[in-house]
Structure 1
Amino acid sequence: MGQGTDQGTRSGRRRARAALAALTAAVLGVAGCDAVGGDSPDPSGTTSKWPKPAPVWDTTPASVAAVGDSITRGFDACMVLSDCPEVSWATGSRAEVGSLAVRLLGKSRAAERSWNYAVTGARMADLTGQVTRAAARGPELMAVMVGANDACRETASAMTPVADFRAQFEEAMSTLRGKLPKAQVYVASIPDLKRLWSEGRTNPLGKQVWKLGICPSMLGDADSLDSAAKLRRNTVQERVEDYNEVLREVCAKDRRCRTDDGAVHEFRFGTDQLSRWDWFHPSVDGQARLAEIAYRAVTAEKP
């Protein structure tokens, strides 16, 4: 009688352990399915209805703020030595431009949900102030194009040092993140200033406007091809390339920041894309090309 009781007890324990193991496997199986998320099949072959996590980059932001310099203000695109923000690549309203804001939001919403805080003549040192003002609007996307004026100085030696340029951009990004932790940032590269010189120097009127002080480090003595002039222009060109590398590197550290991967710098501006007043800043057509580049970068599924 005692032996039978012992056997029954051991048999009961084995059944209990088996049941516990089956229950544990079932629980772990369900937990594993839920951890996958989305429409992943569960162990029974059905589809889970748990929502997929939202992507870090949203290709359809609901508002846009622009910061930067004269290019983003549409300088010299409509009339000589004047801003024309209505043709800005970032926030302009004119149909022939198809600005980034209009492409993303539609014309009516862009009029209410986009803002231009760029300032003609601004350099990277001014970006933090612009970002601070723009952040008060709470934009979902901040569009940035700045740096050309750091290279466009009275002389090549007066250009912003690369280390300062980096520190100033990092400060602006840090300020933005402190105010708008989830805002997305699109950073355009700096145009190829040397190409703009080579295209614009074919126009006598443009060269006369250049003498008023437009980018003297690159455009000064426009017709000179001596060794000193070549060295000066190459020095400016190299500095712009260094600035663009800084923009890429700093932006890459922020998961909600994208650059154009050098597309603006590589774009081959021709005379049709240059202002008919200064043959250096983008024309209305040039602004439209910048808008196309920005829209492709912002709406790409992957950077």
Structure 2
Amino acid sequence: MRKPSHRSTAVVAALSAAVLGVAGCDATGGNAPGPGGTGAMSAKPSPSPTPVWNSSPGSLAAVGDSITRGFDACSVLEDCPEVSWATGSSKEVDSLAVRLLGEARAGQRSWNYAVTGARMADLPGQMAQAVTRKPELVAVMAGANDACRASTSTMTPVADFRAQFEDAMSTLREALPKAQVYVASVPNLKRLWSEGRTNPLGKQVWKLGICPSMLGDPDALDAAATLRRDTVQKRVEDYNKALEEVCAKDKRCRFDGGAVYEFRFGTDHLSRWDWFHPSVDGQARLAEIAYRTVTAKTG
């Protein structure tokens, strides 16, 4: 894909399974009386462990592609970062940064390093920029451009996609071992095609080169066109599986569980210029999904 309140109450993060599994011990030692004796009364409670996940981080950096830049949400073929789901300032969107930090702090403590047209191979470089800000949370949405290629044969192989995401995570971890990561799933590109193909203007804009592997010859329903779109769709599903599996290996990473992929984008959620990228309303829905995932009691 091509190339921003209210302050929400933070939810206490869930304790890790390892912490929950720790059994309590009698603080008075092996010679202490049983539970009914005076020793039980003097036992000191175990200190509360520090949660692995903080649902109210104090700063946020975003990396990714045109969706996170608000491309085509405000004007044709242009970025509009003020309506970005991740860091935007628009009251209509109520971005993740605004929801977590509040309107005033969001402008000072959130940064957008996404680039329109970026692929997963670009993520390590964006992450290297992001870590210079020492963010407490990094929001990731990338992968659509790896499937949106000139043809299905030029889509990024899944193994390469996985390795590139692992590289980006390593870049983050080497610099900021305790930073948290929110990872959004790649959107359902086939659904976006299905919704957008009803608009003549949108189809004209698609001819400019927007996601040709999925959007090329949009009205064709023959076997070849169907196979092409299904191939793209399968690749997106494989990308999401890779994102989920890599994220699961990091205790400070949360994948959205496929929520962005499964969201049923309608025409109101799509750009009125290209009928493919999220509109302002679509950006607001992405912000809701991200906030829900970041503040959930469990990962």
The reply to whether TM is greater than 0.5 is yes
Partner AA of 2:278 in structure 1: P
The aligned residue for residue 256 of structure 1 is 252
Larger relative helix fraction? 1
1:161 to 157, 171, 174: 157
Unaligned runs of 5+ in 2: 1-25, 33-37
Deviations 1:248-296 (A, max 9, x none): 0000000000000000000000000000000000000000000000000
2:195 to 199, 211, 220: 199
Partner AA of 1:179 in structure 2: A
The aligned residue for residue 261 of structure 2 is 265
Q: Which moved more, 1:50-59 or 1:164-173?
A: 50-59
The alpha-carbon deviation at position 121 of structure 1 amounts to 0.2
Rounded Cα–Cα distance in structure 2 between residues aligned with 1:254 and 1:190: 19
- Do residues 280 (structure 1) and 276 (structure 2) align? yes
- Do residues 241 (structure 1) and 270 (structure 2) align? no
Query: Secondary structure of the equivalent of 2:62?
Result: strand
Rounded Cα–Cα distance in structure 2 between residues aligned with 1:257 and 1:206: 36
- Do residues 226 (structure 1) and 213 (structure 2) align? no
Residues 155 and 216, structure 1, Cα contact 8 Å, conserved in 2: yes
Partner AA of 2:130 in structure 1: A
The alpha-carbon deviation at position 51 of structure 1 amounts to 3.6
The aligned residue for residue 212 of structure 1 is 208
- Do residues 92 (structure 1) and 88 (structure 2) align? yes
1:297 to 290, 293, 299: 293
The alpha-carbon deviation at position 47 of structure 1 amounts to 7.3
The aligned residue for residue 131 of structure 1 is 127
Rounded Cα–Cα distance in structure 2 between residues aligned with 1:277 and 1:210: 10
Partner AA of 2:108 in structure 1: E
The aligned residue for residue 6 of structure 2 is none
Rounded Cα–Cα distance in structure 1 between residues aligned with 2:130 and 2:124: 10
Runs of 4+ in structure 1 deviating by more than 6 angstroms, as ranges, are: none
Residues 89 and 287, structure 1, Cα contact 8 Å, conserved in 2: yes
The alpha-carbon deviation at position 49 of structure 1 amounts to 5.9
Rounded Cα–Cα distance in structure 1 between residues aligned with 2:159 and 2:76: 34
Deviations 1:77-128 (A, max 9, x none): 0000000000000000000101000000000000000000000000000000
Residues 64 and 114, structure 1, Cα contact 8 Å, conserved in 2: yes
The alpha-carbon deviation at position 26 of structure 1 amounts to 3.8
Query: Secondary structure of the equivalent of 1:144?
Result: strand
Q: Identity percentage over the alignment?
A: 75
Rounded Cα–Cα distance in structure 1 between residues aligned with 2:27 and 2:94: 57
Query: Secondary structure of the equivalent of 1:150?
Result: helix
The aligned residue for residue 29 of structure 2 is 27
The aligned residue for residue 69 of structure 2 is 73
The alpha-carbon deviation at position 72 of structure 1 amounts to 0.2
The alpha-carbon deviation at position 301 of structure 1 amounts to 1.0
Residues 27 and 43, structure 2, Cα contact 8 Å, conserved in 1: no
The alpha-carbon deviation at position 28 of structure 1 amounts to 4.0
The alpha-carbon deviation at position 164 of structure 1 amounts to 0.4
Query: Secondary structure of the equivalent of 2:41?
Result: coil
1:122 to 118, 132, 137: 118
Q: Name the Cα RMSD after superposition.
A: 1.8
The aligned residue for residue 150 of structure 1 is 146
When residues 110 and 29 of structure 1 are mapped into structure 2, their CA distance, relative to the original with a 3 A threshold, is farther
1:106 to 102, 113, 119: 102
1:175 to 171, 174, 183: 171
Residues 138 and 181, structure 2, Cα contact 8 Å, conserved in 1: yes
Residues 188 and 262, structure 1, Cα contact 8 Å, conserved in 2: yes
Residues 29 and 43, structure 1, Cα contact 8 Å, conserved in 2: no
